[in-house]
Amino acid sequence: MTLFALDPRLEADTLAIGNWPLCRVLLMNDARYPWLILVPRRVGLVEIIDLGPSERTMLMEEIARASEVLRAWPGVTKINVGALGNIVGQLHVHVIGRSPSDPAWPGPVWGHSPRRPYAAGEAEG
């Protein structure tokens, strides 16, 4: 039996928030953007279509839940959702709160510039 394990790069770049019914929920350790990452806790997934229909529905509802959290964040005016995986192969979905005053606006955040980790205590609360 193979157990779910988070990709080491995702683990290094994020802070764990907890588990939702399908996904491990991570906070990207980049203080410039409110940025959640959802990782379905299944072994060997690469694409969204590696999930079956009922799990895809769960994933969509967890994307919606993350979006609602971020839409309530101060300053957020747009939600960006993306599943790329060109660098980290393990299926993961980014849900990011964007603002016209953020560094990458209006472009995508991926590949824009190195992340700026939260200071000690800054990601709490």
Residues contributing to the site for a second copy (CB under 8 A):
46-49, 53, 56-57, 59-61, 63-64, 67-68, 71, 78-87, 98, 105-108, 110-111
We find the least distance from the C-beta atom of residue 113 to a second copy, in angstroms, to be 12
3-state secondary structure of 107: coil
* Maximal CA-CA distance, the chain: 47
Q: Name the one residue in this structure whose structure tokens are 């683990």.
A: 11
Nearer to a second copy, 10 or 60 (CB): 60
Supply 123's token pair: 């990601």
Output the smallest distance, CB 105 to a second copy, in A.
6
Pick between residue 19 and residue 57 the one whose CB is nearest to a second copy: 57
Q: How far is the CB of 108 from a second copy (least distance, A)?
A: 5
* Smallest distance from a second copy to CB 16, Å: 24
Q: How many CA atoms, within 13 angstroms, populate the side-chain half-sphere of residue 74?
A: 1
Q: How far apart are CA 32 and CA 30, in angstroms?
A: 5
